[in-house]
Amino acid sequence: MIRYFLILVLFLDSLQLFSQGMINGTGRVLASPDGNYRISFYQKRAQDGTRQMYYTVSFKGKEVLLESEMGVLIQNHLFESALGIPNDAFEHWGDNLELIGVDTLSVNKTWQPVYGERSQVKDQYHQLILKFRKGNEEAGTMSDAYDKRRYYFMNVELRAYNEGVAFRYYFPEAVNGLFLHIKGEQTKFTLPEGTLAYYEKWAQGPISLLPLKYWKDEAERPLTLKLPNGLTVALAEANMIDYARGKFALCDKKANTLQLSMYASADVITPYNTPWRVVMAGERPVDLINNNDIILNLNPENKIKDVSWIKPGKAIRSGLSQAEAKACVDFAAQHGLQYVHLDAGWYGAEMSVQSDATKVRAEKDIDFPSLTRYAADKGVGIFVYVNQRALYRQLDSILPLYKQWGIKGIKFGFVQIGSQQWSTWLHNAVKKCADYGLLVDIHDEYRPTGFSRTYPNLLTQEGVRGNEEMPDATHNATLPFTRFLAGAADYTICYYNNRIKTTHAHQLALAAVYYSPLQFLYWYDNPKMCNGEPEIEFFDKVKTVWDDTKALDGAIGEFVTIARRDGADWFVGSITNNEARTITIDFSFLSPGKKYEANIYSDDDYVATKTKVRVDKKIITSKTKFSTALKASGGLAIWLTPVKTN
């Protein structure tokens, strides 16, 4: 019945679009299962007879993307000549694509991630595969030994979820042996006039709200947008594994239009699919947060058979000595942390190619086998930092060695990103780490596109302007609606360091607001700074992975409230920007009829501790609406646990 309804909708809309000048028979409309999203596809013929693919997207009857180009830019003359195949004469590779077939599919299932923001992920979508042929079998020659005919096949794959829409280009196996040299994409995103973008030049850069004009550089992905019709929209990338990273640049030929801008060309062998281009929309900004599973759903399922060793957790960074590391292990065991991390410098100058990551620096007294045994006896694991210069040269040597030492994970430092070469190398390195039972945290400019579903030993990654740069509270209140839509981010939460630009309750709340299966809580701190402040209980109790997550309320760059469940307990974090405000938390997400003891951690200048955080207890039910004032750059953290009944 679902399949019949889908085909009927496609047929009726194709007739409607034909009157707007499309090529007869090419128009299709794909609707999401709930009918809220509609992505339309069609081809138009230019005056010179060439063909161009277009698409539009709407959400609940409102325009999201106006008529926008689709297509891939391929320059294959060199390969064609080398194989004795006649050169393609068209200016754009897609100028003569002919639609030769259409397939449809409906999927409705759930899957259990190894870990995540939810213990169950719904994967429901309608799919449309448009099959195109370029050229014909008469161009070139055919013999028993070799096919020298110039023809190609390409599919445009469209998916419509209740959480968003996505599309990509797929190339079936070329029987004539041709490779593909992809120079770029024609993919564009034309938005309504008056759209504003949360522009970020690089992955660890500041974020500015700008119109779609006068950008000097590209914008990072995901890119969150405010549309004049009231919708909040995000453009994202999923399943970017063996390809060049895409960003967004202003199109110089069409107003209010973004061009998918690839870092560099990509050389591929068919069969091959490009990354998914993802479009999400919401009537409220928090709708984007609640629907971010679409990124994981667009990636292949877990490839690691035995996942028992993959253990998310909280971490503290240690100084580079055996005594400091043991002190951190003791602190971790006392405060419910799972990992101690030794950062850059333990094996040598991280930027030097000569530094040997198989040996501890001569002036350091670190004994890793002894340290890992000490930590294991207390239920704590050890992470180590390795710069990409050493990873590139020594990966096959260090992985078995670190396994022998008892190391649990590696933080990749200063990775090269962007090109197809380094994208492929990086993801292959994560796979190799999985072979040795090693967890991974990728730092610096890498941004996720869902690979942690396929290889969940990739716990987290940076790609965020976090506490290494000490951003202000307004930036922090922007991140849940922008960077965190792509996946986990290693923000490196601090608590005692005097350089933080927020209150301490704000930093506490970040542990619930920000998702990272490996969550650093004391990045620039050390155990001696802790004086038994009672609010540290929240850090002790909070988890890093969840059974459920609900973004309750928020406005981009202003404030956000997120609730996350572990078993029967809930952890709630609220943060505000640089301005004070009063917020109201609606606890209707709690189980009806149950009472919860709420431990509330809030800023209070009158508390007699250096952190100035007050701890209160209150009984909360699903009928409670709790209003409270947040200080400028402040926050609120709440731990709720069911009241035991006799």
Instruction: Please write the tens of the pLDDT for every residue from 520-571.
Output: 999 999 999 999 999 999 999 999 999 999 999 999 999 999 999 999 999 9
> Are the beta carbons of 204 and 188 closer than 8 angstroms?
no
pLDDT for 153: 92
Would you report the helix, strand and coil content of the chain in percent, each value rounded to 5?
20, 35, 45
The pTM (predicted TM-score) of the whole model is 0.95
Question: What does the CA dihedral 222, 518, 115, 601 come to, rounded to 10 degrees?
Answer: -90
pLDDT for 19: 41
**C-alpha–C-alpha distance, residues 629 and 583, integer Å:** 6
**C-alpha–C-alpha distance, residues 275 and 451, integer Å:** 12
pLDDT for 354: 92
pLDDT for 91: 86
> Are the beta carbons of 607 and 615 closer than 8 angstroms?
no
What is the number of alpha carbons within 13 Å of residue 17 lying toward its C-beta? 24
**C-alpha–C-alpha distance, residues 359 and 342, integer Å:** 14
Tell me the one-letter amino acid at 254: K
pLDDT in tens, 339-378: 999 999 999 999 999 999 999 999 999 999 999 999 999 9
Cis peptide before 33 (omega within 30 of 0): no
Query: Within the chain, which residues score under 70 in pLDDT?
Result: 1-20, 136-150, 646
Of 443, 615, 611, nearest to 538 by C-alpha is: 615
Of 241, 232, 217, 243, nearest to 279 by C-alpha is: 232
| 3-state SS class at 599 | strand
